[in-house]
Each structure stands twice: as structure tokens, then as C-alpha cells.
Amino acid sequence: MNNDIYVVIEHVREQVADISYIMLAAARDLAQETGGEVVGILLGQDADGLAGDLAADKVLYGEDPALAEFTSDAYQNALAGLIRENAPRAVFFGSTTIGTDVAGVLSARLGLPLVSSCLKIDDGMIVSQICGGKIMTESNLADTTTLITMIPGGYKPEEGQGGSPEVTPVAVDVADLRVALKEYIEPEVADVDITQEDVLIAIGRGIQTEDNIELAEELAELLGGAVCASRPVVDQGWLPTPRMVGKSGQLVKPKLYLALGISGAPEHVEGMAEAENIIAVNIDPGAPIFDIAKYGAEVDLFDLIDYLLEALEDA
Amino acid sequence: MTHIMVPVKLVPDLVEELEIADSGTALDMTWLRLIINEFDDHAIEQAILLKERSGGEVTVIAPDQEGMDDVLFTAAAKGADRIIKLIGDFEEGTNNHALARAFADAAKDAGPDLILTGVQGNDDLDGSVGPYLAEYLGMTYVGYVAGLSLEGDKAIVQKEYPGGLIAEMEVSLPAVLGIQAAEEPPRYVAVSKVRQMMKEASIDEVDAGDLDTSGGLEVSSMYLPEAAERAEMLEGDEEEIAAKLVEIFKEIGVM
Amino acid sequence: MAANEVSHSPSFTKTFYESLFDVTDGDNLKSCLQCANCSGVCPFGYLMDFPPGRMIAWMRAGIFDEVLETDSVWMCVSCYACTEVCPKNIPLTPGLMTRTKEEMLLAGNVPTELQSALEFSQRYGNPLGESPRKRAEWAKDLQPEVPIMRKAKRPVDVLWFVGDYPSYHPRVLQTTKALYNILNALGIDYGILGPEENSDGDTQRLAGERGLFEVLAEKNGKAFSRYDFKEIVTTDPHAYNAIKNEYPELGIEYSVKHYTEFLAERLDDLKPLLKGNGEVKVTYHDPCYLGRANKVYDQPRALLEAIPGVELVEMPHNRTTSLCCGGGGGGMWLDGFQWEKAHVRLSEWRVREAVTAGADVLAVACPYEPPRFEDAAKMVEGAGNLAVKDVVELLAEAMED
């Protein structure tokens, strides 16, 4: 076993996912403890260009037509060989729709331990966050190659960018495929792209009825922004899916995120924690949203909106 | 006839405050309230939906934990044909490697064509159950599935990516799928139906033997997160707060 | 067959019809005149595909299945308005409407909002989804201490059944604390069950979840049997209704009073404590489960009139004709569903009447009401200065200097 830290670079449709950069930042922290290099593992077809700005010491590039887009078994097979042969100190995977399809299978196939939900590396310890953010754990690297799945929140993507690593092709074996990508189905066409807005008025369960969404729309209009929502609102069918912020929705970083009646479940927070200014309005003083907001107000939503609309119209 | 197996587990109910055991490396089980892993609940629903649509047989299997009988009878009331409880040392919790091995042993006997299980659980520390189960059984694994249909010996699955993108994948059976969401929210069953089921249905008990926890991970410490720095709370009535907000909007330059 | 599809055998109508005779006075159903008074008085009758009268007509025609194919029964707020006006005294609310909801629920035809309230009730013993361990959290820092039966380990005169919303809802906690102050001021020897208390289950029952009601009632019955007390006093008229009228059928028999009855009996002790806060016009809203369902009309009014400076004015709909706040029969957990259908709120209608009556304060006696009417007051023109207060809050305020 060597001291290198591997990072499985995730990409979908020729775009490197933010989690890849976040993992590189964590891998750098860990490599400083182990004294090894940070090595990006890039799998794809005609994809070596994606290595461009990865903050890795080097990138191992495995090419195969079956790797053009992600499928679980092609990745599992390719990575199993690479990890077995090179025996790095640790391998990072995203705690994502891609990484979790691979990491667990490899843990079982190669008999290697797996640490889930790593938030950050602290003095060489793997710090994980579980139970909806209510519990933290620390674990050491095991005596063997340790597999780690990473959640966002502990590093900014920029910390894993700005490199220009050397790309080394490696042979990969993807034999015996039982999963095939048929097609990507585009999300409903968004009427607005909430990831591009400076101001987001975010509504949650607290909005109560579909009709009240109009109030949020008015606010958004006065502030020159758009309305987005947490999952319950979208599940009710009150707003289209592209307006959903969170784990299975959009990742947004507006200047202002005004959270109205949103409690702040981790699945939602994951999509908006990076907003510059979070202001939360919630009648429940215990709502976790107040833990990440810059400003909070523990008042009735609808009263506040009325006054706020008035004040904004006057201003 | 398609045989669908749904392994489920209980996880800590986050409605309650969680506490750390004296060992400092695990949750204090005395105060823990357990509920069915919500993703497993979706897996049950998805299995029942498939059965209703294209026939088949659904088996729900779970480790013996306090409250599990209710979960199993509820699954039966929803339409599960067989409910199985694994008997073993599960009461104090175990890791997902061990749980997956126990499920795998039972699955080898039952021989399902398709296994649906929750894509994750809130207490997963050593990965989630689905991928291990797949590997121990030599099956394929695809996770984050939110809808599927069966076509012969293949499943056509909708796999969720961030931003609402869906990848439609063709998966050869037998396979394990990690369910993110069923096509419809888990249905409600009236308590009287569950009570009826408690009289009519029976839980098959299967001995899980000694649990093999190898491959799991050693936690060196477990703790509650430090109270986050809380928001600066704006004081006053709604009208005053509205005025303060306008000032803040100006300050951060969105007005 | 999909499990949430309604499908019944041809004999279904007959079985269903006969099951209605098990309800007290159920036989009266046979004498329905089809006068449609019930449908006319129903606050949502105008938008139901099947208001009560038409349900009976379809039942007589043997095609009751058709009723179950629509979701109009989920507009029923179990307010007893239909039952009150029925010239033949047919138990429409407790019989026909509730049984129909039970059938809907068995078929899995349940609006999502209602589903989660029922699941929470099952899991946590309260429909709000709050931690059952924190049921007495409201009492934590109060001095004098609120005696919790398990810890107090002594007999008490009164077991105070606090209820769901009074235990958890931030607005309704004010009512709870007001009642606490009054019990202390009167020197009442009382205790609460705390975490051993479960939802009374009555609204779940009226929303069609009979089985859940029984489970909750049995849990409360067990808790009652562990302790020694003379009578139960409830904050919530729904709990009062359940313990008074429904629990005895399950063998859980205790003397129970709503707090308005309990305090009205002690008016002589209470009066000297009431100082008043100047002249104020108060109108009283009769909660469905105190008024129509249990005929308690005078005691709350007597309490209000005992407060110096209070002038009691009546709204056009009062006592037997009182208007529902919209929270009953599951309405509390169907706000979104009912809004989609109706685009009006029953609570706003009520608040408009209070404004027309010239009241400064809309007094209530049910924990569902302060949040509902306060929300409504924000939407109703001219209601900006209307305060919504529970009777017990007005009493407690009148005791302060």
C-alpha cells in the first residue's frame, strides 16, 4: 500500500461535478498527513480534457467507450482493478448518485472498509456527519486502503480547483456489463433558472396553500429575483421541479436567500448553504434553519410578508 | 412470476434528541426511538406498485428490532405476500456489512428476481445496505432509483441526478436497486387493517446466526455537533422587522 | 386491482347502510324526508358532489359506491350543523359522514396532509409530529411546578387532560399557561399525565380512523387507570367529547368536564380574583364540540360576563347555529385540500361576523381556534384590531393588575 490519496472524479455530460473539487480539497488535507500525492481518477471516453483544472498532483485516466457516461457496473469494474493494483492509502467517492453506486460494491468486493458521509478531514481524522446532521463521528484511516464517501459542506469547490495535473492513461477492464444507459431525460424546462438568480425567495411547508405562493412571487418581483422551494412544496405540485432547492434539486448560491417557512432539513440545506446571505423567517424558534442563517426572525410569515411588501413598494 | 424482496431496517427517529452512549462511540440505545428508514418505506411502496401493475410476489424482510413487528404487519396490510424477521443479535444495532450479509443469506434461500431497498439510511456509517447485498449475492446494483418498470429479465430504471436530470438505465435481473423515492408516496393503511393483519398473517422467523460485522469501520469518537452559531435574531413586531429587512437588503446590495 | 381504487361488491351498499343502525339513533335514518336541510346548512355542502342528503338518496338507490368514487366527504368538517337541523334526528355527523370517511380510509383514499397527521398520531401520539417525550415541555420552567402524575405519586382531585395543541402549538401554549395560572389561583389540586398522555383521538376518529382512535383511547385509558383522581378536566372540547361520549363504550369511564364547566362551577371563588382591564366588547364563538355536540352554551358566557368591563355581544350565528372554524373532522389537517376545492376559509366567515358584531375580542374555547381565527383576521377587511382570545386567557388577564 502506498500513501497516495485517490479521488474518483465525477462528471455527467462533460461537466465535472462540484463534489469532485470538494473531494480534492479533502484529499489534499489527508495527503498532508500521509505524505502521499493527491491522485485524480478520471474515467470516460474522450474525457481527458476534463482533468484541466483539477487540483490534483496527477490524474490517472482510464478510457473505454463503456465509460463515456456513468453506469454503476462499468465504474465498479474499472475501479476495482485500479484500486487492487495500486493500493492507495484512501479513495474518495462522492456521497452522490454516482459515488454511492460504486463505493459500497467495491468495499464488499475488495474487502476494504468504507467510511460514509465524510464532511471534512481534521488532523488526519475522517469527520463524518450522520443522522441528519445531529451526530458527528471521527474515524482513523484503517490499516488497509480506506474508502470514503464525501458530502458537501466542509470545503468550497474553489479549494479543489486551479491545478493543471499531468494526465497518465491507464488500462481499465470493464468486462461483464449488466447495466446500460438508455438515455438522459431532461428535467422539465425551467421557466426561470434559479441557479442564476441573485435573489431567491424560498418557500417551504410554512406557505400552507398554493394561493399564498402569489405573495412570494410579489416579493420576488419587487426584489428582482425568483421564487424557489423546498421539496414539500414541489411534491404538492405547487411549483415545478426545477424550482426545487436541495439534495435532489438545484444547488444555488444567490446573494440573498430569504427562507420563508422553511425548517432547514439537511436535504434542503445542502442546496443552499453556500448562499451569501441567508435570512430565515419561521414561527418555530427551534427550526434548524436559524443555525445557518445570518439573520432570523421568529414571527408569523404572512404578517411579515404584508409589511415587507408595503415597505418595498414604498422604498 | 417476479419475486421482489424488500429488505428494511429501522433508523433513529430524528424527532427525538439523540444521545451518545457512555462508550463515546455509539448512540445511546436506551433513549433511541426507532422508525422505519423512510427510503425503505418507499422501497416497500415501489414493490407493491410493481406487483399491482404487473403481478408478482413481494417479500419484506427485516432484522428483529423493537417495533419491527408493526412495520412488518403494516407491510402485509399494504400488500406484501410474505413477511420475514431475521432472528439474531440486532437489538443493540449492528453495521450495514453485517446486516447485508444476513439479508444475503436469507435471499439466497428465497431466490428473488429483484431486490428493492432504501438507497440510504440516516445512520449509515459504513455505506448503505444495498450495494453490499448486491455484491454478496453477485447481483448488479443501481441506486438513487425513483421509478422503474419490468420488461422480461430487465428492469428499466429512472435514476436521479442533481438538478432534476434523470438517467434511464436498463438493468439485467437479478439486481438490487437502491430506492430514492417510489413513484407514489407510501400509502396509508388504516390501523384496523393492520390489526386485522396481526390476527391473520404470520411473521416467518429465520435464524440469522452469528453476525459477521467485518469490513465495518471503527469509530474512534461520536459526539453531538457544537451548537452552530445561530442567526442574529431580529427583534420587534412584524412591521419593525420588515423595516429592518429592507435595511439589510440595501446593505447587501439587492435593492 | 390497485389498493387505492375503490371497488366494492354489489352488496356493499346494503352492508354499509345496515352498519349505520349501530350508531345511537341510527334507525332514524330510515325516516329521512329528503328535505335537504342538512345539505343547505353544511358550510361546504354547496361544493360537495354528495352532500349528506344526496348520500342517503344514493344509498336508498343501492348505488352508494358512486359516493365513494368522489372525494367530497373530505370537505366534511364534522361540525354537527347537519345533525342539528335534521328534523328526523338522524345522526348524520357521527354516523353517515364518519362511516363514509372510514370507508374512504380503508380504501386508501386519503389526502396526503391528512395521512401525515394520522401517521404522526400513530407514531408519536399527537398529530403534530412532535416528540412525545416533550409533551410536558411547556411546564418545564413554571413555578409553582406542574405536578406530573408519575412523579407526584399522590392522588389528586383533578386530572388535567391537556391535549395535543395545548401541549405543543406555540400559540395555544398561551391558553395552556392561562389555565395553569387559574388552576393555581383557585388552589385546585391537580396533576397532568405529561408524556403518558396521548392524543384523545377524537378528531382522528371523525376523520375516519376508528382503529387509531381505539389505540389512542386504550393508551389513555391505561394511563388513567394508573392514577387516583376524582375527575378529568380538559382544555380541548374534542378531548372532552371523546372521554365523555366515546371512551365509555371502550370501558374507559371517568367523570369529565370541559374547563369552562369546571370553572363556571367555581364562579364564586373566581369572581373576587377578576379585576378586569377596562371596557371591552367580547363576542363568543361556540366551538362545535362544546356547543352543538355537547350542549355547553351557558358556562363560557357566564365566565365572560363575570369579567368586570366585559360587554358580551352575540354574532348572528351563535349557540346551535354557530359557524365551524373549519378545523373539525380532520379539517385541521386538510387545509390545503379544502382550500383547493373551496378557495374560501370557514374561519374568515366567522371573523367577518365578529367584526360586524362590533367586537374587540373574539373569545373561543377550543385550541383549534386561536391560530385559525388569528390567521383569518389577517385576511378579513376591518379585522385588523380584532383580538382572538381563549376564554381562559381573558380570565387570566383579568386577574392581573
- Report domain extents, chain B: 3-207
pTM: 0.89
Cell (9 digits) for B136: 454478496
Report yes or no on A186 lying in a domain.
Answer: no
Right CATH number for C125-265 from 3.10.350, 3.40.50, 2.60.40, 1.20.950? 3.40.50
Number of domains in chain A: 2
Best mutation target among B37, B81, B192, B239 (most C Cβ atoms within 10 Å) is B192
Q: CB neighbours of C111 closer than 8 A, spacing ≥ 6? A: C71, C74, C334, C337
Dist. CA C139–CA C142, nearest whole Å:
5
Q: Let me know whether A218 and A310 are in one domain.
A: yes
Q: From the list C123, C129, C211, which residue is nearest B192 (CB)?
A: C211
Chain B nearest C-alpha distance from C196 (Å): 16
- For the segment B27-52, the average pLDDT, to the nearest whole number, is 94
> What confidence tens digit (pLDDT) does each residue in B87-114 have?
999 988 789 999 999 999 999 989 999 9
CATH number at residue A227: 3.40.50.1220
Question: How far, in Å, CA of A108 to CA of C202, rounded?
Answer: 51
Q: How far apart are CA C282 and CA C308, in angstroms?
A: 12
Residues A270 and A144 in one domain: no
Phi-psi label, residue A196: left if phi above 0, alpha if psi -120 to 50, beta otherwise = alpha
CA B74 – CA B85 distance, rounded (Å): 14
For B236: left if phi > 0, alpha if psi spans -120 to 50, otherwise beta; the answer is left
Reduce the secondary structure of chain A to three states and give it as a string.
Answer: CCCCEEEECCEECCEECHHHHHHHHHHHHHHHHHCCCEEEEEEECCCHHHHCCECCCEEEEEECHHHCCCCHHHHHHHHHHHHHHHCCCEEEEECCCCHHHHHHHHHHHHCCCEEEEEEEEECCEEEEEEHHHCEEEEECCCCCCEEEEECCCCCCHHHHECCCCEEEEECCCCCCCCEEEEEEECCCCCCCCHHHCCEEEEECHHHCCHHHHHHHHHHHHHHCCEEEECHHHHHCCCCCHHHEECCCCECCCCCEEEEECCCCCHHHHHHHCCCCEEEEECCCCCCCHHHHCCEEECCCHHHHHHHHHHHHHHC
For the domain C273-399, what is the CATH superfamily, name and number? AF0625-like (3.40.50.10700)
Residue A184 lies in a domain: no
User: What residues have CB less than 8 Å from A290, skipping those under 6 apart?
Assistant: A264, A280, A282, A296, A298, B230, B231, B233
CB contact under 8 A, B194 and C211: yes
Question: Mean pLDDT of residues grouped by 10 in chain A (315 residues)?
Answer: 97 93 98 97 96 96 96 97 97 96 97 95 95 90 96 90 96 93 85 89 86 91 94 81 85 94 83 91 84 91 91 88
Assess if CATH 1.10.1060.10 describes domain C12-106: yes
User: Can you say how many angstroms the Cα of residue A134 is from the centroid of all Cα atoms in its chain?
Assistant: 19
**Chain C residues touching residue B13 (CB < 8 angstroms):** 123
Question: Residue A274: its pLDDT value, please?
Answer: 85
Parse chain C into domains and list their residue ranges.
Answer: 12-106, 125-265, 273-399
ipTM value of the model? Answer: 0.91
| Neighbour subunits, B (≥3 Cβ pairs < 8 A) | A, C
**A203/A165 same-domain check:** no
Q: For B166-182, what is the HEC assignment?
A: EEEEEEECCEEEEECCC
Task: For residue B227, give the C-alpha cell.
Answer: 451548537
Answer yes or no: are the C-beta atoms of C375 and A302 closer than 8 Å: yes
**Residues of B (24-83) whose Cβ lies below 8 Å from A:** 25, 27
Instruction: Say if the Cβ atoms of B163 and A187 lie within 8 Å.
Output: yes
Mutation pick from B238, B246, B252, B255 vs chain A, by most beta carbons of A within 10 Å, is B238
Is residue B101 classed exposed, middle or buried when 0-12, 13-18 and 19+ CB atoms within 10 A define those classes? buried
Distances in Å between the alpha carbon of A194 and those of A152, A197, A213, A229, A231?
20, 5, 16, 10, 15
Q: Are residues A109 and A26 in the same domain?
A: yes
Q: Phi then psi for C102, rounded to 5 degrees?
A: -60, -40
Which of C130, C131, C209 faces B190 most closely, judged by CB atoms?
A: C209
Length of chain A: 315
Quick check: do C12-106 and C125-265 share a fold? no
Q: What percent of chain B has pLDDT over 70?
A: 99
CB nearest to B159's CB, from A97, A103, A294: A97
With contact defined as beta carbons under 8 Å apart, do C296 and C258 qualify? yes
Range of the domain at A53: 5-170
Residue A292 lies in a domain: yes
Q: How many residues does chain B have?
A: 255
Domain B3-207: CATH superfamily, name plus number: HUPs (3.40.50.620)
Based on the fold, state whether residues A152 and A19 are members of the same structural domain. Answer: yes
What's the 3-state SS for chain C? CCCCCCCCCCCHHHHHHHHHHHCCCHHHHHHCCCCCHHHHHCCCHHHCCCCHHHHHHHHHCCCCHHHHCCCHHHHCCCCCHHHHHCCCCCCHHHHHHHHHHHHHHHCCCCCHHHHHHHHHHHHHCCCCCCCHHHCCHHHCCCCCCCCEHHHHCCCEEEEEECCHHHHHCCCHHHHHHHHHHHHHHCCCCEEECHHHCCCCCHHHHHCCCHHHHHHHHHHHHHHHHHCCEEEEEECCHHHHHHHHHHHHHHCCCCCEEEHHHHHHHCHHHHHHHCCCCCCEEEEECCCCCCCCCCCCCHHHHHHHHCCCCEEEECCCCCHHHCCCCCCHHHHHHCHHHHHHHHCCCHHHHHHHHHHHCCCCEEEECCCCHHHHHHHHHHHCCCCCCCEEEEHHHHHHHHHCC
- Residue B217 gets which letter from DSSP? -
Q: Exposed e or buried b for every residue in C341-357, given b needs 16+ CB within 10 A? A: eeeebbbbbbbbbbbeb
User: How confident is the model over B185-204, as pLDDT tens digits?
Assistant: 899 999 999 999 999 999 99
List chains touching C (3+ CB pairs under 8 A).
A, B
Domain CATH for A11: 3.40.50.620
Question: Do A200 and A308 have their domain in common?
Answer: yes
C190 close contact with B: CB closer than 8 A = no
Which of C333, C344, C378 is most worth mutating to test chain A (most A CB atoms within 10 A of its CB)? C378
Q: Which residues contact C9 (CB under 8 A, 6 or more apart)?
A: none
Return d(Cα C352, Cα B208) in angstroms, integer.
Answer: 65
pLDDT of residue A273: 86
DSSP letter (8 states) at residue B59: E
Q: Residue B7's beta-bridge partner residues?
A: B61
Q: Are C266 and C305 in contact (CB under 8 A)?
A: no
Per-residue model confidence (pLDDT) at position B163 = 73
β-strand partners of B140: B175
The closest of C320, C313, C330 to C386, measured between CA atoms, is: C313
Query: How is residue C25 written as a grid cell?
Result: 339513533
Q: Provide the shortest C-alpha distance from residue C195 to chain B (in Å).
A: 13
From CA B236, how far away is CA B241, in angstroms rounded? 6
Do the Cβ atoms of C170 and A283 come within 8 Å? yes
If asked whether residues A213 and A69 sit together in one domain, one would say no
pLDDT along chain C (401 residues), means of 10: 48 90 94 96 96 95 92 96 97 97 93 90 94 95 96 97 95 96 98 98 97 98 98 98 98 98 98 92 98 98 97 97 95 87 91 97 97 87 93 96 71
Contact call for residues A274 and A260 (beta carbons, < 8 A): no
**Which of these, C208, B191, B39, B251, lies nearest to A276 by C-alpha position?**
B251
Beta-carbon separation of A302 and C339 below 8 A: no
What span, in angstroms and rounded, lies between the C-alpha atoms of C39 and A282?
40
pLDDT tens track for A187-229: 776 678 898 899 999 999 888 778 889 999 999 999 999 999 9
Residues C88 and C32 sit within 8 Å (Cβ to Cβ): yes
Which is nearest to C179 in space by CA: C195, C193, C164, C190?
A: C190
pLDDT band, very low/low/confident/very high, at B247 (cuts 50, 70, 90) = very high
The Cα–Cα gap between C257 and C266 comes to 13
Cα–Cα distances (Å) from B50 to A7, B108, B124, B141, B179, in that order, read 38, 22, 27, 18, 13
- Nearest 10 degrees: Cα torsion C78, C84, C87, C88: 60
Interface of C with B in 123-142 (CB under 8 A): 123-124, 129-131, 133
Grid cell in block for residue C43: 358550510
Give the closest of B13, B52, B190 to C105, CB-based. Answer: B190
